Structure 1
Amino acid sequence: MLENDNADWGLVHALVLDGQGGARAVARADLVHLQLAEHESLWLHWDRGQVRTHAWLREESGLNAFSCDLLLEENTRPRLVPLPNARFLLFLRGINLNPGAQPEDMVSVRIFAEERRVISLRLRSLRATEDLVARLAAGEGPRNAADLVLYLAERLTERIQAVVDQLTETLDTEEERVDSEDGYAPEHSSLLHLRRRSAGLRRFLAPQRDLFALLARNCPGWFSNEHSHYWNELNNSLTRYLEELELNRERVALLIEAEQRQLSERMNRTMYRFGVVTGIFLPITFITGLLGMNVGGLPGADNSAGFLITCGVTLAVAVGQWLLYRQLRWL
């Protein structure tokens, strides 16, 4: 019932982290007078598409207009914006696992983080936040704001692995069929689709890798040294995914090249056969055309065996050409 009341205000999740891996829900109306214990942190997850979310962010969140404008802007890319007093804005992208969506159409989550408060906004639902709520309900979730931001980044990064693996397996299958099946050529449209998916993922993963590296080097003071190691591991994971996507793009280019080469070979063989047939029939056509002229003095015109003689000469010319082509190894 509490979640339904909060949802009417655009508040998807409102949880107070207890510092032990658990959390308790709070109502939207209680945010104004909410007092946190020393070991507690607050996480507010909002629906960016709700008008009331915009109103709360600008009027009650305590954020300045610059931060609100960035959190609510229509289009953004992965980036890190440091703010005064050891606060920051973090813009991340995650795999779109919503029904009917393309994974490379990555969903955005915008995060404002300070030592004891995290405000996140999304436009479309994210599996990462649902996993986070489930872990908190089980008492196994993040203990503070630093853990929460890191947890969201980790879950967003983990889901990228499945999509990259799927692309790689598809290319493996196509390459095996090209190598094992004579004359097999993958569909051009399918290869282009794979290349577009790889490019769409690389578009957002490259800047996201860079901001993870930045966080590994320059974490705010309320992050621990252990957090820096985790950010560095996320940077390494995205580097590996990007290398795999770059390799996949090169493999797609090789498959397209193989497809074009096979098409060119088939076309050349077809044109070669047409050339041989044309070469055989050209002198025969000349003989029949010459004898078909309606003029006087044609040889064999008054001979009853003229037709048979002409057929024999034509056949002899054809056999002679065939033997010549065989000797020249044109056949």
Structure 2
Amino acid sequence: MKIRLVNNGVFTPIEDIAQTLAPAHAGFYWIDADVEDLAVLQPLFGMHDLAVEDCLSEEEQRPKIEIYESHYFIVINSIRFDDEEIFLRALNIFLGRHFIITVTKQKINELRSLKPLLWEQEVSRPDYFLYHLVDIVVDNYFLVGDRIDNRIETLEEDILMHTKKSHLNEIIGLRGEILWLKKVLGPQRDVIATLNKKDLKLIDDQLQKYFSDIYENALKIAESFDTYRDLMGNLREAYQSSVSNRANEIMRVFTAITTIFMPLTFITGIYGMNFDFIPGLHLRMGSYILLGIMLLLGIGMFFIFRKKEWL
């Protein structure tokens, strides 16, 4: 657990947690905690039992906002895209008048990238801290969306050039993650809408228009993932069409080969019959002449098929 006094974007480490129970003369306290620290924090800050239970739960938490008398409990999901797999990590936030507590189970990159922004904006209020944090989290969805878009384009080119069975697994896996992510975007968008529209006493009225901008971005992200879902459907159709065309191409080659060998089989069939009088049967060079005729016939049919673009 790390405790800092934030005043005009400047961070001052605090050793004694009891100091955070009373408002600072200037600025606010930011407590960056792990779930194990809740046993100490809950009685000090009067955290609601249900909020603490949500933080400790092993189940995936939906984004939400809970309004309590002395604080707000907010859950939003940070997003990462590593090794072609999407990860969501819950970011639990307790917002009070003079403090903000972030509780996470894993490291959240947005918290580290937030520090220089707070210094640049000279932030001295916890609600402005919340605004910048939510803004960074939402912006990262655009970055992940761009990577998904690039992955779809690359996959489409690979399918058109060299279709493989592994492409179908990639399509199914990526489409499943996009659909799963869409289910998260709805509740997260609702949380931002609440921060934007609802009258919240712990959030400055001037922040409403700023949260409105974040809400518009959240809508754009939801629309983008609708598009990605449709593109994955088109990609699957392209894969099936490519596989079908490849099968047809293979069947066309096999059919051509069979057709070429049909007259050759016909000739060998005639000379394989047990008759004494067959033209050329007793010629000294008869077998070579026959093989030459068969070779010329096969080559001739091959070039005829190539000319007609059947091969």
TM bucket, shorter chain? 0.7 to 0.9
For residues 64 and 183 of structure 1, what CA distance do their matches in structure 2 show?
57
For residues 268 and 62 of structure 1, what CA distance do their matches in structure 2 show?
70
For residues 256 and 113 of structure 2, what CA distance do their matches in structure 1 show?
69
Counterpart of 1:69 (choices 53, 66, 89) is: 53
Note closer, same or farther for the CA distance 1:103–1:89 as it changes in structure 2 (3 Å cut): farther
For residues 32 and 307 of structure 1, what CA distance do their matches in structure 2 show?
110
Note closer, same or farther for the CA distance 1:258–1:39 as it changes in structure 2 (3 Å cut): same
Q: Secondary structure at the match of 2:23?
A: coil
Q: Which has the higher helix share?
A: 2
1:96 aligns with 2:80: yes
For residues 187 and 93 of structure 2, what CA distance do their matches in structure 1 show?
16
Note closer, same or farther for the CA distance 1:106–1:302 as it changes in structure 2 (3 Å cut): closer
1:47 aligns with 2:34: yes
- Distance apart, 1:96 and its partner CA: 3.5
Structure 1 residue aligned with 2:143: 162
Structure 2 residue aligned with 1:85: 69
Summarize the alignment of residues 179-190 of structure 1 with structure 2, pairs less than 5 Å apart: 183-185=161-163, 188=167, 190=170
Q: Secondary structure at the match of 1:104?
A: strand
Note closer, same or farther for the CA distance 1:231–1:86 as it changes in structure 2 (3 Å cut): farther
- Distance apart, 1:23 and its partner CA: 4.4
Structure 1 residue aligned with 2:131: 150
**Deviation per residue, 1:267-313 (Å, 9 max, x gap):** 212212221331332243234224314x4545358743693698399
Structure 2 residue aligned with 1:299: 278
For residues 21 and 94 of structure 2, what CA distance do their matches in structure 1 show?
18
Summarize the alignment of residues 25-40 of structure 1 with structure 2, pairs less than 5 Å apart: 25-27=13-15, 29-31=16-18, 34-37=21-24, 40=27
Q: Which moved more, 1:232-241 or 1:255-264?
A: 255-264
Q: Secondary structure at the match of 2:45?
A: coil
CA contact under 8 A between 1:16 and 1:26: conserved in structure 2?
A: yes
Note closer, same or farther for the CA distance 1:314–1:88 as it changes in structure 2 (3 Å cut): same
Counterpart of 1:243 (choices 199, 218, 223) is: 223
CA contact under 8 A between 2:70 and 2:96: conserved in structure 1?
A: yes
Structure 1 stretches of 4+ moved >6 Å: 100-103
Question: How many residues are treated as equivalent by the alignment?
Answer: 304
CA contact under 8 A between 1:86 and 1:220: conserved in structure 2?
A: no
> Residue type matched to 1:123 in 2?
K
- Structure 1: which 5+ runs fail to align? 1-10
- Structure 2: which 5+ runs fail to align? none
Taking only aligned residues, the RMSD between alpha carbons, in angstroms, comes to 3.7
For residues 83 and 302 of structure 1, what CA distance do their matches in structure 2 show?
102
Q: Secondary structure at the match of 1:60?
A: helix
Summarize the alignment of residues 1-331 of structure 1 with structure 2, pairs less than 5 Å apart: 11=1, 13-18=2-7, 20-27=8-15, 29-31=16-18, 34-37=21-24, 40-48=27-35, 50=36, 53-85=37-69, 87-96=71-80, 104-136=86-118, 138=119, 140-173=121-154, 177=157, 183-185=161-163, 188=167, 190-192=170-172, 194-293=174-273, 295=274, 297=276, 299-300=278-279, 303-304=282-283, 307=286, 311=290, 315=294, 318=297, 322=301, 331=310
CA contact under 8 A between 2:21 and 2:44: conserved in structure 1?
A: no
Note closer, same or farther for the CA distance 1:155–1:83 as it changes in structure 2 (3 Å cut): same
**Deviation per residue, 1:16-64 (Å, 9 max, x gap):** 344x44443321x34267432465433212012x3xx132134433223
Task: Give TM-score scaled by structure 1 length.
Answer: 0.75
Q: Secondary structure at the match of 2:29?
A: strand
